[in-house]
Amino acid sequence: MKRDHYLYSSGRLKRKDNTVYFEVKNERPKPLPVEKIRNIHVFGEVDMNNKVLTFLNSYGICVHFYNYYGFYSGSFYPRETQVSGYSVAKQSEHYLDENKRMYLAYSFLQGGIHHMKRNLRRYKEKTEEELLNIELEERKLQESRTIQELMGKEGRLRQIYYQAFTSILPEDFAYEGRSKQPPNDPLNALISFGNSMMYRAILSEIYRTQLDPTISYLHEPSTKRFSLSLDLAEIFKPLIVDSLIFSLINRKAITLKHFDMLEGKMCYLNEDGQKRFLRAWEETLARTVKHRKLKRNTSYRYMIRLECYKLIKHVINDVVYKPLKAWW
């Protein structure tokens, strides 16, 4: 089974003897089993050359880079192997047609809202008021006529959802408003780090399908970003990231000691905190449930791939897209 590999040490990634080695000063080079690696996440200062990137490309391995504070910097995205001009043309058609685009944009939000309410129902005694307010906002969402209007109403709904975090989490992680660039408290730092990992996981699954990651529906396509990852993440962030955050904090697997502050303005997960989160992250993505249609155990990670396949079937007018809504 393929897995993600995380590099925290500083060193050099190089090709040798038809495999890849990670060299760290004063340590014996470690071979990386490329045939078993899905993605490489680089958190340290790592040197690599064209030779190793070409080799990783041949195995379809994405390399994601993060800065010193764990914030996403960019990706090496291998040459697509599942290219389909027909699928891309149909994908673009659904973006250019306002009604078709609205259907998909609203569908992504439907899936996300279902999972938000699912999370809050687990703490219903504490979040009853927020649940009622989310349902009111959800009804207003159906009245939207433009993407901008849809996004505005979704923003108000998400604000209500985040406010419920204060009732779910201990006082040290009270929600005091969403801050992203940069996050200014531990909860925001954890949300941002988790969401970033979610975008990378989705991008890696999109790469393995015929979808173009730059053509999106809810989020406006633009240069230098894979905006379709943001669209699909609306479904999976509450399902995977938020539930994982609740678990880690409430079990005290992550505490305030796992965060550092920079100049009193930027909060970020330190290395120990990142590693703790990523261990739980990999365990969560590997978790399986019995799929209703496939009639077999399916991992959370593969659920993302299935969502991509459903989107392809929709844009080629095969099967109407319905977002994932967890039934388990």
Annotated binding site: 154, 219, 234
Q: Which helix (H) or strand (E) holds 41?
A: strand 37-42
Phi, psi for 266 (deg, rounded to 5)? -115, 125
**Residue 73 in tokens:** 């910097």
Closest listed residue to residue 306, CA positions, set 237, 219, 235, 254: 235
Return d(Cα 159, Cα 271) in angstroms, integer: 29
CA distances from 231 to 18, 109, 119, 236 (A): 38, 9, 20, 10
How far is Cα 161 from Cα 238, in angstroms, rounded to an integer?
Answer: 10
State how far the Cα of 84 lies from the Cα of 162, in Å rounded to an integer: 39
- What DSSP letter does each residue of 105-143 carry, written as one string? HHHHHHHHHHHHHHHHHTTHHHHHHHHHHHHHHHHHHTT
- Long-range contacts of 188-192, Cβ-Cβ distance < 8 Å, separation of 24 or more: 188/267, 189/259, 189/267, 189/268, 189/269, 190/245, 190/248, 190/249, 190/254, 190/269, 190/277, 191/241, 191/242, 191/245, 192/71
Which residues participate in the annotated binding site for Mn(2+)? Answer: 154, 219, 234
Instruction: Transcribe 15-35 into DSSP letters.
Output: EETTEEEEE-TTS--EEE-GG
d(CA 211, CA 205): 10
- The phi-psi region of residue 263 (left if phi > 0; otherwise alpha if psi is between -120 and 50; otherwise beta) is left
d(CA 322, CA 152): 22
CA triple 188-307-114, angle to 5 deg: 55
